[in-house]
C-alpha cells in the first residue's frame, strides 16, 4: 500500500478558528428555549467574556506575528494574516448575533417576567428624580471628563473599561472650542443599577450606568451643548512578557508587569452603533486600529457586566434547580483511615469538593502529620485551602507550596497568596523556569508507628472551591505507595535540581506523558492489525498536538475505534474516508463546564485495559511546556465508574452534544428518541436531592 500523506493541510483545523467555534457553541446555549431564562442570560455573558479573552490573548498574539512580518503557516497552511481575516469575519457575525439575541429574545422575555431595563425615555417623573440624585451623588463627584486639545491629549484608556466620546458645541470658560471630550466611567460602580421597588409596579427594574451618564452628561460641560455622546470600549493585549532567563525573582518581575496589562497594545474597538463614522474613525486612529477591528454594538459594550443581575433577581424558577453535591457514604470523620482502607474517587461537581478541604484541614491539625506539599494553579480569592496551609505552617509543619505565578489572569491573586504563605512560614517556590506548573497534587506525609506514609490527592481540575461547583473534574485520594513515591519524585523535580526520575505508575509532562500516549495509541493500532478488538476513548478539553493527531489517524487507518469527547479546540478532522473514518469527535456544552481529562485504552500498555485521569490536555503546551500529572485508575470499581460515567455516558448524550463533521463544522445532535443528558444523569445518580 502507498503510505498516506498525513501532513496534508486539509487534514487539520486551525487552532484559533476551532476555539472561536467553541465560543459559538456557548452562545448557542443562550438561544435554548427550554433553558431557564436567567441561565440563558448567564450563557450570553459567558460567551462575551470568552470572546474578550480570545481577543486579549489569541488575536493579540496573531497581530504581533503580523507586525514582525511572520508568514509562517500552521499545519492548516493558513498564515497569521489569513487567520486574522477569518477571525474578523466570524467575530463580527458573533457580536451581531449576541446583540440580536439580547434585544430580540432575552430582554423581551425578561420584561414578561417583570424584570425590566428602562430606557431614558421610559423613566417617569419619580424615577427620573431618583436617577438624577444617583448621578449627582454617586457619579458626578468621581467623573473627570477630559476635553481634547493640545494641552489635554487623548487619555490612556484602560483595557475593557467603559468610556464615552462626547461631541460638544460652544466655548468653555477659557474660550476653547475643541469640540470633543472623553468621559471615563468609574470601574468601581456596577454597570446595572437597580431602582427602588417603590418606584415601579414591577418587582425588578434596572437602568444601565451608560444610560445615566448619557442622560446627564451635559452637567459635566456647563454652558456648552452636547451634540452627541457615544459609549466605547477598547480591548488590549493582556499577555505578560517576562524574560525568565534574565530575571532573578519571578514574583517581583511579574509584579512590575501587571500594571502594564491594562495598557497593552489595542486589538479591538467596540462603539455604539449610532456613533458617527467620523468619531469612530477618530477613535480607531487613536488606538492604531483598522476598520476591521471596529465592532458596532446595539447595547452595552460589555455584556458580561450584566452577570450580577442573575444574583440580584430572586427568582429560583428562572435559574437551574439547586442541588447538594453528594458525599460517598463511607467517608467518615477520619479521612486518613478511610483512605488507608481503599482509594476514594470523587466526581465534581456532582460530588462534593468539601472532602478535599477537610483532607487539608485534618492534615494541618493532625499532630502525626509532618509535611504537606501542594501545587496551586488557580485557587480564587479567600481560599479555604490556603487557610489550611497557613494553619499548617503556623503549626510548625513542613509546608511546601508550588505556586504558579503565571496562571493567566490570576497572576495578581497568586502573588498575594504566595506572599501570605511565605509570611506564615511555608516554603514557596514558583515551579520551573520556562514551564508552567499545571499539575494538581497534594501530598501529606504522616508518621504511623515506626514508618512514614504518604497520602495523596490528585485532580484533573484546580484547587478552587467555587469552580468545583461548576466544572466537571475527577479527584483521587490514595495512599498507594507507588503513587505516593511518584508524587514525591515530581515534587522533588519541582523544588530541587536533578535528573528526571522514572516513575513507577504515573506519566508526567514534559517527560513521559507524550511518549506514553503515543505508545498506547500505537499499541491499539498493532492490536487492530492483528484482527483483534481495539478501542480508544478520550475526554479532554483540547486536541492540538501534531504527533498525537497523526498517531490517531494511523490508528484509525489500522481499524481502531476512536471516540473523542473534546469540549473546545480540536485540530483533527474526523470521518475522512480512508483516514479518520473510525474517529468520532463530539463536544458537550451544558450547565457545567466539561473539564475532566480521562483516557481509556482497551488493550493498554501491557495488553490490559488502562484508564487514566490527568491534568493535561492533548496540546503542545501541556505535553511539552508544562508540568502535568497523569495517573492510572486501577481499582476495578473506580475504573468501571470512569469508563461508564465519565466516558460512555457522554457518548450517549443526545441533548447537549455537538458532532464535528469531516469539513470541520459542528452540528447540534438532534435526538429523536429518549433524551439523555450526561450531566443531568450524573446529578441524579451522584448528588444529594435538591
Domain extent listing, the chain: 11-318, 335-505, 508-686
Residue 537, preceding bond cis, omega within 30 degrees? no
- Tell me the C-alpha distance between 404 and 381, whole Å: 15
Tell me if residue 99 falls in helix, strand or coil. Answer: helix
pLDDT digits 0-9 by tens, 295-327: 999 999 989 989 999 999 999 999 999 999 999
Mean pLDDT within 457-485: 95
Residues 6+ positions from 416 with CB-CB distance below 8 Å? none
pLDDT band at residue 672 under the 50/70/90 scheme:
confident
pLDDT digits 0-9 by tens, 338-347: 999 999 999 9
Burial of 315 (0-12, 13-18, 19+ CB in 10 A): middle
pLDDT digits 0-9 by tens, 47-85: 999 999 999 989 999 998 888 887 778 899 999 999 999
Tell me if residue 508 falls in helix, strand or coil. Answer: strand
Residue 468 has a CB neighbour count (10 Å cut-off) of 26
Q: What share of the chain is helix, strand, coil (3-state, %, to 5)?
A: 40, 25, 35
CB-based contacts of 489-492 (< 8 A; 24+ apart in sequence)? 490/439, 490/441, 490/627, 490/629, 491/373, 491/400, 491/402, 491/441, 491/443
Residue 19 has pLDDT above 50, yes or no: yes
- Tell me the C-alpha distance between 35 and 355, whole Å: 31
Mean pLDDT within 486-503: 89
Residue 490 has pLDDT above 90, yes or no: yes
- Domain 11-318, second-level architecture: 2-Layer Sandwich (3.30)
Q: What is the reported pLDDT for 227?
A: 94
pLDDT band at residue 188 under the 50/70/90 scheme:
confident
Mean pLDDT within 215-231: 92
Instruction: Give the count of alpha carbons within 13 A of 475, CB side only.
Output: 29
Q: What is the reported pLDDT for 418?
A: 84
Q: Which fold has domain 508-686?
A: Endonuclease; Chain A (3.30.870)
Q: Is there a shared CATH topology between the 335-505 domain and the 508-686 domain? A: yes
CB-based contacts of 499-507 (< 8 A; 24+ apart in sequence)? 505/480, 505/631, 505/632, 506/629, 506/630, 506/631, 506/632, 507/612, 507/614, 507/629, 507/630
The one-character DSSP state at 58 is I
438 a catalytic residue: yes
Residue 491 has pLDDT above 90, yes or no: yes
- The C-alpha cell of 632 is what? 492510572
Residue 245 has pLDDT above 50, yes or no: no
Residue 1 has pLDDT above 50, yes or no: no
Q: Where are the beta strands (DSSP E) in 595-660?
A: 598-601, 610-614, 626-632, 657-660
Catalytic-labelled residue, pool 347, 438, 457, 514? 438
pLDDT digits 0-9 by tens, 74-124: 899 999 999 999 999 999 999 999 999 999 999 999 999 999 999 999 999
pLDDT band at residue 433 under the 50/70/90 scheme:
confident
- Lowest-confidence segment of 62-76, 242-256, 278-292 by average pLDDT: 242-256
pLDDT digits 0-9 by tens, 620-629: 999 999 999 9
Q: What is the reported pLDDT for 244?
A: 45
- Domain 335-505, second-level architecture: 2-Layer Sandwich (3.30)
Q: What is the reported pLDDT for 72?
A: 79
Q: What is the reported pLDDT for 263?
A: 61
Amino acid at each position: 500500500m502507498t503510505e498516506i500523506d498525513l501532513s496534508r493541510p486539509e487534514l487539520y483545523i486551525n487552532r484559533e478558528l476551532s476555539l472561536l467555534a467553541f465560543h459559538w457553541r456557548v452562545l448557542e446555549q443562550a438561544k435554548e428555549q427550554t433553558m431557564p431564562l436567567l441561565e440563558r442570560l448567564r450563557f450570553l455573558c459567558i460567551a462575551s467574556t470568552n470572546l474578550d479573552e480570545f481577543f486579549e490573548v489569541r488575536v493579540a498574539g496573531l497581530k504581533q506575528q503580523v507586525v514582525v512580518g511572520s508568514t509562517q503557516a500552521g499545519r492548516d497552511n493558513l498564515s497569521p494574516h489569513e487567520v486574522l481575516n477569518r477571525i474578523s469575519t466570524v467575530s463580527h457575525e458573533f457580536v451581531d448575533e449576541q446583540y440580536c439575541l439580547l434585544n430580540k429574545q432575552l430582554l423581551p422575555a425578561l420584561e414578561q417576567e417583570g424584570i425590566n431595563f428602562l430606557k431614558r425615555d421610559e423613566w417617569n417623573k419619580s424615577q427620573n428624580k431618583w436617577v438624577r440624585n444617583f448621578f449627582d451623588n454617586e457619579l458626578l463627584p468621581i467623573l473627570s471628563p477630559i476635553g481634547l486639545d493640545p494641552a489635554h491629549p487623548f487619555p490612556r484608556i484602560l483595557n475593557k473599561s467603559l468610556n464615552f466620546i462626547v461631541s460638544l458645541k460652544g466655548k468653555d470658560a477659557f474660550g476653547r472650542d475643541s469640540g470633543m471630550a472623553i468621559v471615563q466611567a468609574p470601574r468601581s460602580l456596577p454597570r446595572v443599577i437597580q431602582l427602588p421597588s417603590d418606584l415601579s409596579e414591577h418587582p425588578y427594574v434596572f437602568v444601565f450606568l451608560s444610560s445615566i451618564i448619557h442622560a446627564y452628561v451635559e452637567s459635566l460641560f456647563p454652558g456648552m451643548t452636547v451634540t452627541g455622546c457615544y459609549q466605547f470600549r477598547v480591548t488590549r493585549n493582556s499577555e505578560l512578557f517576562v524574560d525568565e532567563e534574565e530575571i532573578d525573582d519571578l514574583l517581583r518581575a511579574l509584579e512590575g508587569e501587571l500594571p502594564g496589562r491594562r495598557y497593552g497594545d489595542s486589538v479591538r474597538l467596540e462603539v455604539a452603533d449610532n456613533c458617527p463614522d467620523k468619531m469612530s474613525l477618530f477613535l480607531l486612529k487613536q488606538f492604531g486600529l483598522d476598520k476591521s477591528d471596529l465592532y458596532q454594538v446595539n447595547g452595552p459594550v460589555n455584556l458580561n457586566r450584566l452577570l450580577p443581575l442573575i444574583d440580584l433577581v430572586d427568582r429560583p424558577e428562572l435559574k437551574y434547580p439547586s442541588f447538594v453535591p453528594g458525599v460517598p457514604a463511607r467517608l467518615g470523620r477520619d479521612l486518613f483511615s478511610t483512605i488507608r482502607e481503599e482509594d476514594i474517587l470523587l466526581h465534581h461537581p456532582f460530588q462534593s469538593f468539601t472532602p478535599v478541604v477537610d483532607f487539608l484541614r485534618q492534615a494541618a491539625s493532625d499532630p502525626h502529620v509532618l509535611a504537606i506539599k501542594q501545587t496551586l494553579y488557580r485557587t480564587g480569592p479567600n481560599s479555604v485551602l490556603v487557610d489550611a496551609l497557613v494553619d499548617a505552617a503556623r503549626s510548625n509543619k513542613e509546608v511546601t507550596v508550588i505556586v504558579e505565578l503565571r496562571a493567566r489572569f490570576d497572576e495578581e491573586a497568586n502573588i498575594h497568596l504566595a506572599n501570605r504563605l511565605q509570611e506564615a512560614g511555608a516554603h514557596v517556590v514558583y515551579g520551573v523556569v520556562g514551564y508552567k506548573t499545571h499539575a494538581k497534587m497534594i501530598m501529606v506525609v504522616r508518621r504511623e508507628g515506626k514508618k512514614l506514609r504518604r497520602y495523596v490527592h490528585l485532580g484533573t481540575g484546580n484547587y478552587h472551591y467555587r469552580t468545583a461547583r461548576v466544572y466537571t473534574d475527577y479527584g483521587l485520594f490514595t495512599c498507594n505507595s507507588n503513587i505516593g513515591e511518584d508524587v514525591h519524585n515530581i515534587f522533588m523535580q519541582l523544588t530541587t535540581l536533578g535528573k528526571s526520575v522514572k516513575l513507577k505508575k504515573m506519566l508526567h509532562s514534559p517527560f513521559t506523558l507524550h511518549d506514553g500516549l503515543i505508545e498506547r495509541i500505537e499499541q491499539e493500532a498493532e492490536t487492530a492489525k492483528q484482527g483483534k478488538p481495539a478501542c480508544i476513548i478520550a475526554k479532554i478539553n483540547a486536541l492540538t498536538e501534531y504527533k498525537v493527531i497523526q498517531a490517531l489517524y494511523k490508528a484509525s487507518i489500522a481499524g481502531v475505534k476512536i471516540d473523542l469527547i473534546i469540549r473546545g479546540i480540536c485540530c483533527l478532522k474526523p470521518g475522512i474516508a480512508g483516514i479518520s473514518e473510525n474517529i468520532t469527535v463530539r463536544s458537550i456544552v451544558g450547565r457545567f463546564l466539561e473539564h475532566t481529562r480521562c483516557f481509556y485504552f482497551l488493550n493498554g500498555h501491557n495488553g490490559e485495559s488502562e484508564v487514566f485521569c490527568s491534568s493535561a490536555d492533548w496540546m503542545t503546551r501541556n505535553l511539552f511546556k508544562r508540568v502535568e500529572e497523569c495517573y492510572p485508575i486501577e481499582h476495578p470499581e473506580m475504573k468501571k465508574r470512569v469508563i461508564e460515567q465519565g466516558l460512555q455516558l457522554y457518548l450517549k448524550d443526545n441533548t447537549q452534544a455537538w458532532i464535528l463533521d469531516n469539513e470541520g463544522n459542528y452540528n447540534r445532535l438532534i435526538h429523536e428518541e429518549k433524551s439523555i443528558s450526561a450531566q443531568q444523569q450524573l446529578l441524579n445518580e451522584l448528588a444529594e436531592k435538591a
